[in-house]
Amino acid sequence: MTPQSGFMVLAPINPERETELRQLLDSMNDGPGQVNPNNALIPFAQFEELHFARLLILDDNSLKDRAIYGLPGDFPLQFAFLGDIDGEEETFLKELAQRAPEGLRRLFSCCRDFDPDCDLLAWMKRHRSLAIASFVNCRGRTVRRIREEAQLRETLDRYLTEKAATLAQMSPREVHAKLSEFVAAEKSAGRLTLSGESPTPIAWWIGNTLHMICLPLLVLLALPVLLLALPFYLIRVRYLEKTDVEICPKVDPAYSEMLAVAEDHFVTNQYTAFGSRKPGLVRLLTMIGALSVVNYAARHITRPGHLGRIRTIHFARWVFLDGKERMIFFSNYDGSVESYMDDFINKTGFGLNAAFGSAIGYPRTRWFLFDGCADERKFKNFNRRHTIPTQVWYKATAYLGLTAVDLDRNSRIRKGVEKPSMSDAEAREWVALL
Amino acid sequence: MSEADFDYADVQGLVRFGYGHLKSASYSVLRIKNPAAARAWLRGALQSNAVTTAVKASPPPTTALNVAFTASGLKELGLTPVVINGFSNEFIAGMTQTSRARQLGDIEENAPAHWDWGYAAKEPHLVVMFFAEKERFDAFVQNSIGAAWKEAFHEIDSLPTADLDGVEPFGFADGISQPEIDWGQQRESKDVQLDYTNIAALGEFLLGYPNEYGKFTERPLLEADATTNELLAALDEPGKKDLGRNGTYLVMRQLDQDVRKFWQFIDKQAGGDPAERDKLAAAMVGRKTDGEPLVPIRNEPIPGIDEKQASKNQFTFDDDPAGARCPFGAHVRRANPRNADFPERPANTLKKLITIAGFGPNRFRYDLMSSVRFHRILRRGREYGPSVKLLEALAPPPSDDPPRGLHFVCLNANISRQFEFLQNAWIASTKFAGVTGESDPLLGNRQSLPGCPVTANFTMPGSSSLPRRVSGLPQFVTVRGGAYFFLPSLRALRYFAVVENA
């Protein structure tokens, strides 16, 4: 199995070059929200391991909210380049530096500490930013596998149309046998490829297993202390929840429209939310705790294709900035932002509250998990205000028109095709996918 | 509060009634020429009680008039930006905003630039809806418009409607399923709704009341002063006057239906076989022509569906999880998936938690849908154009074939969560409920998306066979106009009638 990973390069922008950087980013697009996958700066389409990528200027609209807590609001404007890939971050950065050195240098030269003579790869690695939590829809599902499975479905689709009359007379098991036979023939004729899984990198496997075991172990070890501290912690949290300020004014329509012009050009959308954490140790611990749980669950517990009840997210990640004072959330999801938010509020409201409740201005929560986003209007206002424009966003052209649910269907079709035999019930369910 | 105590006199009648017995109707889509004259006309209409309220009259009225304004109409009338900004952003921006039009599927042939009304210079300020018994209609309209009308308004269009006897132009019984408004706010507000209910919180259809989340939808709350004296106080902020209370949003879209293209396509697919033709058409709509649903009627009643409606509406799609009876992509299944907050009603808390964690049954389509109670609309549309019999529809069209279709009208308190969500995520979506490559078989615009070249399929799952796929569906419905309106309460209308730069 080839695991997926993420990369993120983050660097402060040279204020004198901000305009130039914005122009460069614009030049990568055919239109707002529509990247040219073969643009001159970073020809994304050439990178076969790349699922999603985005380049953006981290403009924080909510900096002035920090004044409520007496926090300073002056941070340098930063530039981020991040993506989700098959395989190791290191390998991918190397490939990037090799294939798009000029484009990357032009972009990064707008950052404060970029020396034109520097080693590009080393510079990028120095500016890596790690996620505190991340979610991969289906670990091991590489771009290549997605492409092959999509081709499988298309091939089957054509065959089904051609042979509709014959196949309509067959029982599901007969259909399955017939299609398996057809696929085998296509494969041996070299018209269809369904690659097997690559071996799981041993280092990754060890790291992952250690992570799976050690985190609960640590919690277990710390349990006596945690239990002792719990009552004080809860009292404090509840007090804070009752006294914290909500900042959920009506959305500025011009701002919202500026975001909207870049949305809904594809079946999948990007989402970037940026904000500050409420001050204090309790909030810091709450946030780290909540996101560690999210990360652990996403890595070791969730069923492939599911973030709880949500089945529309391809990749998501949470990143701390500025010594954990600010946090940014990136996701790639299917459908419109309205349906995305409704899904979250109605299906996983508690998760939303846990993951974002420590942000300044978030709608009032009750015991971390409750209320909060259940005030739909406040939450949507809060959310849109914290959404920032993503100047460049790329989704692998191999599956541009496919949703996460489509990918799930294609994987199920493939699994079925590779199954030597099926029960009647299995065959019925499988045939219904076609 | 009980249902009987509700202040129906403050609500325009359309919220409660479709005025089905008033067979003649037309919608005057207007721009304000002279604000003072427009206010004078409104004052006149209010003084003569011409604006019909939701009070149940016995016998029912023989005429009815309702009036609704767009955001630009309110501005023209004299409301200040501060007041207007209290309304929802989608109402203020309107239906034709480029990004919004894209989300609604209003591109290419459907694009606002091609509309007969609703766009640019033809963006209306208000719509006046006239309903009357046939013989009274002309006199009623003449009488209602009065002397101030010509001076006040410039008429963009007077949209006539046709009485097709409860059947829409394609030939299917229409308007069968409507949510039941909980006027008395008797339904317990629940965090979780485990069963499909047809009863909707009052706040889903009237501003100023708790919605399905138990919260208030945004609307302008004004300072209490001499000008706002007559307005009701906001229930959630008693110090403020609620301009939205007892009002709601009215979405209007003129949908041209190519009836010939529809039946000719289906006839060709069916190879001319009448039984096959009916079957395919019913599968696309999700009901037979007489409105009979494709899934069996349940024994247990559904809240908000009385005995009279049971034979047409007492069903959910839980009885058809594979879509073998009613395809997932069928129009009525898209428009109302009839589900609840959880799939397959979890029997206990443990089952609920398992679903929340994402470990329910590992089936492809399990838990793909949003809960419908947050996405209901009240439909109040009317048909236009002459009806065509099926056999006529199959014949080549005469050279002077008049347009026909539906003036789609719906009411909702939250346009983005109700109408827009429904149109975008369910009707226009090419990925609804796990389908792919198809949008609504009736309403879809068939436009390709990047990476999805085909959106013109329609799939009918089989119970024990391969799904049957029809491809190459043409566009049957073209959007010809549309706008978002605010349908004010009577109190708000009185406020508008005297307002000047307030």
Note whether A406 contacts B356, CB cutoff 8 Å: no
Does the beta carbon of A1 lie under 8 angstroms from any beta carbon of chain B?
no
Q: Name residue A318's amino acid.
A: W
Q: Are residues A161 and A248 in the same domain?
A: no
Considering the domain boundaries, does residue B402 fall inside one?
no
- Reported for B266-270, long-range contacts at CB under 8 A and 24+ positions apart, including other chains, are B267/B394, B269/B470
User: A428 contacts in B (CB within 8 Å)?
Assistant: 464
* Number of domains making up chain B: 2
Closest by Cα among A164, A385, A129, A396 to A254: A385
Q: Are residues B266 and B235 in the same domain?
A: no
Question: Quick check: B199 and B434 in contact, CB under 8 A?
Answer: no
| Weakly modelled stretches of chain B, pLDDT under 50 | 502
Note whether B466 contacts A339, CB cutoff 8 Å: no
With H, G, I as helix, E, B as strand and everything else as coil, classify residue A74: coil
Mean pLDDT calculated for residue range A57-81: 95
Q: Compare all CA atoms of chain A with the CA of B430 and give the residue at the minimum distance.
A: A267
Respond yes or no on whether the N-terminal peptide bond of residue B59 is cis (omega within 30° of 0): yes
Following DSSP, what letter does each residue of B265-331 receive, concatenated?
HHHHHTTT-HHHHHHHHHHHHTB-TT--BSSPPPSS--TT--HHHHHHH---GGG-TT-SSS-TTSH
Residue with tokens 């004078």: B40
Does the beta carbon of A434 lie under 8 angstroms from any beta carbon of chain B?
yes
The residue of B99, B215, B422 whose CB has the most chain A CBs within 10 angstroms, and thus the best one to mutate to test that interface, is: B99
Q: Are residues A102 and A175 in the same domain?
A: no
Q: Are residues A325 and A270 in the same domain?
A: yes
Note whether A434 contacts B371, CB cutoff 8 Å: no
B121 contact partners, CB below 8 Å, separation of at least 6: none
Shortest CA gap B125–chain A (Å): 20
User: B89 contacts in A (CB within 8 Å)?
Assistant: 250-251, 253, 256
Report how far apart, in Å, the C-alpha atoms of B438 and of each of B96, B170, B328 are: 24, 20, 11
How many whole angstroms from its chain centre is CA B469? 29
Q: Are residues B106 and B193 in the same domain?
A: yes
Query: Residue A310 has what DSSP assignment?
Result: B
Q: Which of A261, A264, A402 is facing B451, going by the closest CB pair? A: A402
Considering the domain boundaries, does residue B237 fall inside one?
yes
pLDDT tens profile B325-339: 999 999 999 999 999
Question: Quick check: B495 and B227 in contact, CB under 8 A?
Answer: yes
Considering the domain boundaries, does residue B179 fall inside one?
yes
Q: Compare all CA atoms of chain A with the CA of B416 and give the residue at the minimum distance.
A: A338
Considering the domain boundaries, does residue B303 fall inside one?
yes
Express the helix, strand and coil content of chain B in percent, nearest 5 each.
Answer: 30, 20, 50
Q: Which of B355, B374, B466 is facing A160, going by the closest CB pair? A: B466
User: B471 contacts in A (CB within 8 Å)?
Assistant: 161
User: B358 contacts in A (CB within 8 Å)?
Assistant: 302-303, 306-310
Note whether B436 contacts A171, CB cutoff 8 Å: no
Q: Are residues B191 and B238 in the same domain?
A: yes
Note whether B431 contacts A168, CB cutoff 8 Å: no
pLDDT tens profile A381-391: 999 999 999 99
Q: Compare all CA atoms of chain B with the CA of A161 and give the residue at the minimum distance.
A: B469
Q: Which of A260, A348, A400 is facing B451, going by the closest CB pair? A: A400
What pLDDT, on a 0 to 100 scale, did the predictor assign at position B189?
A: 65
Q: Are residues B158 and B275 in the same domain?
A: no
| H helices present in A189-280, as ranges | 202-243, 253-260
Overall pTM surpassing 0.80 (yes/no): yes
Q: Are residues A268 and A371 in the same domain?
A: yes
Q: Compare all CA atoms of chain A with the CA of B358 and give the residue at the minimum distance.
A: A308
Q: Which of B99, B370, B467 is facing A260, going by the closest CB pair? A: B99
Q: Compare all CA atoms of chain B with the CA of A348 and give the residue at the minimum distance.
A: B356
* Number of domains making up chain A: 2
Shortest CA gap B357–chain A (Å): 4
Q: Compare all CA atoms of chain B with the CA of A397 and give the residue at the minimum distance.
A: B451
Note whether B357 contacts A308, CB cutoff 8 Å: yes
Q: Are residues B331 and B202 in the same domain?
A: no
Q: Are residues B189 and B276 in the same domain?
A: no
Shortest CA gap A19–chain B (Å): 26
Host domain of residue A409 = 143-196+403-431
Q: Are residues A155 and A58 in the same domain?
A: no
Q: Compare all CA atoms of chain B with the CA of A174 and give the residue at the minimum distance.
A: B465
With H, G, I as helix, E, B as strand and everything else as coil, classify residue A31: strand
Considering the domain boundaries, does residue B404 fall inside one?
no
What pLDDT, on a 0 to 100 scale, did the predictor assign at position B2?
A: 76
Considering the domain boundaries, does residue B188 fall inside one?
yes
Note whether A405 contacts B368, CB cutoff 8 Å: yes
Report how far apart, in Å, the C-alpha atoms of A80 and of each of A103, A331, B483 are: 15, 14, 40
Q: Are residues B174 and B206 in the same domain?
A: yes
Task: Please tell me which residue, B462 or A407, carries the higher pLDDT value.
Answer: A407
What pLDDT, on a 0 to 100 scale, did the predictor assign at position B188?
A: 73
Q: Are residues A154 and A133 in the same domain?
A: no
Within 10 A of B395 (CB to CB), how many other CB atoms are there?
Answer: 11
Q: Are residues B472 and B488 in the same domain?
A: no
Shortest CA gap B333–chain A (Å): 17
Q: Are residues B248 and B330 in the same domain?
A: no
Q: Are residues B361 and B453 in the same domain?
A: yes
Q: Which of B355, B357, B466 is facing A167, going by the closest CB pair? A: B466
Considering the domain boundaries, does residue B126 fall inside one?
yes
Q: Are residues B230 and B152 in the same domain?
A: yes
Q: Are residues A31 and A151 in the same domain?
A: no
Q: Are residues B219 and B281 in the same domain?
A: no
Considering the domain boundaries, does residue B396 fall inside one?
no
Note whether B363 contacts A429, CB cutoff 8 Å: yes
Shortest CA gap B140–chain A (Å): 41
User: B357 contacts in A (CB within 8 Å)?
Assistant: 301-302, 308
pLDDT tens profile A93-143: 999 999 999 999 999 999 999 999 999 999 999 999 999 999 999 999 999
Q: Name residue B407's amino acid.
A: H
Does the beta carbon of A175 lie under 8 angstroms from any beta carbon of chain B?
yes
pLDDT tens profile A302-351: 999 999 999 999 999 999 999 999 999 999 999 999 889 998 999 999 99
Closest by Cα among B404, B416, B68 to B252: B68
Question: Quick check: B466 and A162 in contact, CB under 8 A?
Answer: no
Host domain of residue B469 = 257-373+428-481
User: A171 contacts in B (CB within 8 Å)?
Assistant: 464-465
Q: Are residues A310 and A389 in the same domain?
A: yes
Q: Are residues A29 and A102 in the same domain?
A: yes
Shortest CA gap A146–chain B (Å): 14
Q: Which of B356, B421, B451 is facing A339, going by the closest CB pair? A: B421
Does the beta carbon of A334 lie under 8 angstroms from any beta carbon of chain B?
yes
Q: Which of residues 371-390 of A touch B (CB under 8 A)?
A: 374-377
Does the beta carbon of A30 lie under 8 angstroms from any beta carbon of chain B?
no
Maximum C-alpha span of chain B:
71
